[in-house]
Structure 1
């Protein structure tokens, strides 16, 4: 894996909201089959990094390459079609569609996966979605909506799955279910970029980590290296 060409590579990107610059040369990379965590305090640029990757808030400078293609100037829908599935902060499921309709609306296998995700596989991953199949998305609990958001993203059969605040605001039992899901996806070989504040679970399942501070990556390394540096966690993560 060490010598593999990155599936996703961003280099020195700069992103602004109007006149307010948020990213100042942010860089990271993800290889195929890796689970990478992006960590940092609130307001340091994690979500903006995700929005830049997806073209939702386009970077004004730098390079974003996905699956060997420069995507920085592409519209969001084209970036998604290349094989990135996003579980956004706030979930953003379709409230006026049923659970099943949410999943069907996103289904596709544009990249020709030989083992594509189906509704049945999503139900096996999250049995609660099978139970709630006829319920409107807006009637689900926060945890159920997060399961649905993950299922919806997987139904696109992405090369890369991105989760922004994977377990924020969820009950402990639901958080455990999400972490178990991520462990299963890693075992399946799914490439994942995840944002979350739970360092214990992230170091348990992620291969590598980046810490972002004021719009740039200030540290990168393996789980073992992060665990070995408690001062680093205290300085940048408030732990």
Structure 2
């Protein structure tokens, strides 16, 4: 059950790349134990929102609070240390490290989780990673790389897990495995922010949704509210 207090709260942020503004007063929030989706067509600001949260492309205005701390002006490594694990678009695993080395490279239990993630638990979640433990990162399939990126983020024992394009470009069977993994993580009480295009799966497992259009939040609501509005999906998601 999600806690009422926001774990992540974004309030009216504005973010630019040079002179080009991408986010215009965007707001959203995630409570502890909640799974929230961020949806919108390509180029509408989803990845920029993630980059703003992580301090990779700092917002020039507004507020970003995580676990009660204002993080908008903090460097990325400090934001990550507060307890955010990122599974970035394109996976960005370390190609010249083995699967095992990728998993242990950033492993930490800085937040003192009583039941921290370990190699054994990641292997139980994704048995294929155990089988491929000595393979280099660049020897994995796209699906295996996505599993590795999720496992690497979980090994930091984050309060919040963020996935940018969770199943983009993956084979159908692998997609199902990723969705099953996210359902299991949610059942464990993991807070999750996910970007993906599969409205059906998102509606099934997420608590709430945000849709953005040209850098602004244009709709937010529950899964029941989203599925009841096919016109909304057609207008903003092209479905």
TM-score range for the pair, normalised by the shorter chain length: over 0.9
TM-score after normalising by structure 1: 0.99
Structure 1 residue matching 2:6: 3-state secondary structure: coil
Q: Which residue of 2 aligns with 1:58?
A: 58
- Consecutive unaligned residues in structure 2, runs of 5 or more: none
Q: Which residue of 2 aligns with 1:131?
A: 131
- Once the two structures are TM-superposed, the CA of residue 119 in structure 1 deviates from its matched residue by 0.4
C-alpha separation in 2, matches of 1:76 and 1:131: 33
C-alpha separation in 1, matches of 2:19 and 2:132: 44
Structure 2 residue matching 1:178: 3-state secondary structure: helix
Q: Which residue of 2 aligns with 1:114?
A: 114
TM-score after normalising by structure 2: 0.99
C-alpha separation in 2, matches of 1:141 and 1:198: 21
Q: Does 1:156 align with 2:156?
A: yes
C-alpha separation in 1, matches of 2:197 and 2:153: 21
- Once the two structures are TM-superposed, the CA of residue 106 in structure 1 deviates from its matched residue by 1.5
Q: Which residue of 1 aligns with 2:201?
A: 201
For the aligned residue pairs, the C-alpha RMSD in angstroms reads 0.8
- Once the two structures are TM-superposed, the CA of residue 3 in structure 1 deviates from its matched residue by 7.0
Structure 1 residue matching 2:94: 3-state secondary structure: coil
Q: Is the 8 A contact 2:106 2:156 kept in 1?
A: yes
C-alpha separation in 2, matches of 1:17 and 1:77: 20
Structure 1 residue ranges, 4+ long, deviating more than 6 angstroms after superposition: none
C-alpha separation in 1, matches of 2:76 and 2:9: 17
Structure 1 residue matching 2:225: 3-state secondary structure: helix
Report matched runs for 1:200-219 at 5 Å: 200-219=200-219
C-alpha separation in 1, matches of 2:153 and 2:2: 27
Structure 2 residue matching 1:148: 3-state secondary structure: helix
* CA deviation string 1:103-147 (max 9, x = no partner): 010110000000000000000000000000000001100000000
Q: Which residue of 2 aligns with 1:98?
A: 98
